[in-house]
A and B are shown apart, each in its own frame.
Chain A
Amino acid sequence: MSAGPYVLRVNGNDHEVPDAHLGESLLWVLRERLGLPGSKNACEEGECGSCSVQVDGELVCSCLVLAAAGVGREVTTIEGLAPDGELADVQRAFVEAGAVQCGFCTPGLIMAVDTLLDDLPDDGSDPDDLIVREAISGNLCRCTGYGRILEAVSIAADLRRENRT
């Protein structure tokens, strides 16, 4: 059944979604209807975190969001973290630490780390290891063993701080 045309606000732009079916997830609409394939589709049940996006600033699995119910929300995907051709701080940190192998989990992890750094108090200290591990506990990576990802978080925290001051 049709969801009728509706408008989703993604990365600061309004996108008209015509002809969508009511049961389509936000992940599906982002990838297949709006041409934003950065959010990855693996489990479609909220287990792997590779589809993570921010909705009104909160980290969620886009596969578990009904797209048509996202009308009026502000959606941020990996494509929206930095202008085209530039890297956001967390992306730079992942490159620098070599925290990317096959790359499939990377967009979701970067969205999770970006949210973590947004929410951290700005007292100059590195994020507590347990807090970091909990923040990325919903993002599965089968390549890296997470060591370099944790290193990337630490680098990203420094970059974010530099940017703030």
Chain B
Amino acid sequence: MTIARTLDDACVALAEHPDALLLAGGTDLMVGVNRGQVGFDHVVVIDRVDELRGWRREGDELVLGAGLTYAEMGRGELPVLLPALAQAARTVGSPQIRNAGTLGGNLATSSPAGDTLPVLVALDATVVLRSSHGTRKLALDRFVTGVKQNALEPEELIEAVRVPVLDGPQEFLKVGTRNAMVISVASLALVVDRAGRSVRVGLGSVAPVPVRAVEAEAFVDGAIDWDTGSAPEAAVDRFAGLVAEAARPIDDQRGTATYRSHAIGVLARRALRRAFPGGAP
């Protein structure tokens, strides 16, 4: 086992043991370890690598360390700069899980139900990957390639995620069977870029990968009254319908495809009304 203290430590250990288990918060990984479903010969522990912790601002971008915990996403200035991410983080698991689980872990797991993923896809996030061979950057939709599949190569780890700071409201909404300890049945992130007069929508748990509701975005950008911050009722309806059409849900143990399509439309309507309250009846 290697307890890495620096990013270089971690990369060197990974180069020596390309099949090593990378352990950050452990909230997903340890479930499989406890059940004996995850075999491994070496573990590289990365929760004490300072370069992966916390976040910083670089101009109009935020650089979020892969080791940023869900609890940290809800603290200090981050809920102001990235309200949708803070809201999403608060719906993850329980305080115990939020103290341990990390942004990088959510990405590496690449579950369709990963709660930060709809937010990151809506923000056009860039994933920064690092190995002893260097650094590369991938757009989020290039990083997550399928159900629990991603573009991470052996020897690579996630260093950070870069997202823009936008001027405008943001919403994250999630449907589950209770408010805590729940894997989402459907989730939606809506972020508004007032300067660019655009609305971006990311959907979770309704497709194999996090998806954008591209047609709904294009429609609503032109339907919003940007000067008053309002959305006409008919536009809200049409927007909700287009978002539901962007979903490609399946039936599983948490819900049916029909229910998910309905729920994602409800979330779309609710998020748009909250972001543009001028249009509420």
Check B31 against A44 for contact (C-beta < 8 Å): yes
The interface residues of chain A lying within 8 Å CB-to-CB of B1 are 3, 22, 68-69
Check B23 against A69 for contact (C-beta < 8 Å): yes
Query: With A and B bound together, what is the CA distance between A107 and B144 in angstroms?
Result: 39
Check B97 against A138 for contact (C-beta < 8 Å): yes
The interface residues of chain B lying within 8 Å CB-to-CB of A58 are 71, 99-100
Residue in B30, B34, B41, B180 whose beta carbon sits within 8 Å of that of A134 in the complex: B180
Residue in A1, A49, A63, A138 whose beta carbon sits within 8 Å of that of B34 in the complex: A63
Interface residues of chain A, those whose CB is within 8 Å of chain B, are: 1, 3, 22-23, 25, 44-47, 49, 52, 58-61, 63-66, 68-69, 71-72, 112, 115, 134-135, 137-139
Query: With A and B bound together, what is the CA distance between A38 and B93 in angstroms?
Result: 23
The smallest beta-carbon distance between A116 and chain B, in angstroms, is: 8
The smallest beta-carbon distance between A149 and chain B, in angstroms, is: 15
The smallest beta-carbon distance between A113 and chain B, in angstroms, is: 11
Query: With A and B bound together, what is the CA distance between A28 and B34 in angstroms?
Result: 10
The interface residues of chain B lying within 8 Å CB-to-CB of A64 are 25-27, 30-31, 96-97, 100
The smallest beta-carbon distance between A140 and chain B, in angstroms, is: 8
Interface residues of chain B, those whose CB is within 8 Å of chain A, are: 1, 3, 23, 25-27, 30-31, 33-36, 38, 40-41, 43, 45, 47, 71, 93-97, 99-100, 179-181
The interface residues of chain B lying within 8 Å CB-to-CB of A138 are 93-97, 180-181
Q: List 13 A-B contacts (CB under 8 A).
A: A3-B1, A22-B1, A45-B31, A46-B93, A46-B97, A59-B96, A61-B27, A64-B31, A64-B97, A66-B23, A66-B43, A69-B1, A139-B94
Query: With A and B bound together, what is the CA distance between A49 and B3 in angstroms?
Result: 26
| Highest count of chain A CB atoms <10 Å: which of B25, B31, B71 | B31
The interface residues of chain B lying within 8 Å CB-to-CB of A3 are 1
The interface residues of chain A lying within 8 Å CB-to-CB of B33 are 23, 25, 66
| Highest count of chain B CB atoms <10 Å: which of A23, A47, A52, A135 | A23
The smallest beta-carbon distance between B140 and chain A, in angstroms, is: 26
Query: With A and B bound together, what is the CA distance between A63 and B94 in angstroms?
Result: 14
10 shortest A-B CB distances, which residue pairs? Answer: A138-B94, A137-B180, A64-B30, A44-B34, A45-B31, A58-B99, A69-B45, A61-B96, A138-B96, A64-B26
Residue in A65, A66, A137 whose beta carbon sits within 8 Å of that of B95 in the complex: A137
- Other A-B pairs beyond A64-B27, A64-B97, A69-B26, 5, CB < 8 Å: A59-B96, A64-B31, A71-B3, A112-B96, A138-B96
Check B34 against A60 for contact (C-beta < 8 Å): no
Using A46-B93, A58-B99, A135-B95 as known contacts, say yes or no to A66 and B181 having CB atoms under 8 A apart: no
Closest-by-CB residue of A relative to B46 is A69
The interface residues of chain B lying within 8 Å CB-to-CB of A49 are 94, 96
Check A137 against B26 for contact (C-beta < 8 Å): no
The smallest beta-carbon distance between B71 and chain A, in angstroms, is: 8
Query: With A and B bound together, what is the CA distance between A22 and B25 in angstroms?
Result: 16
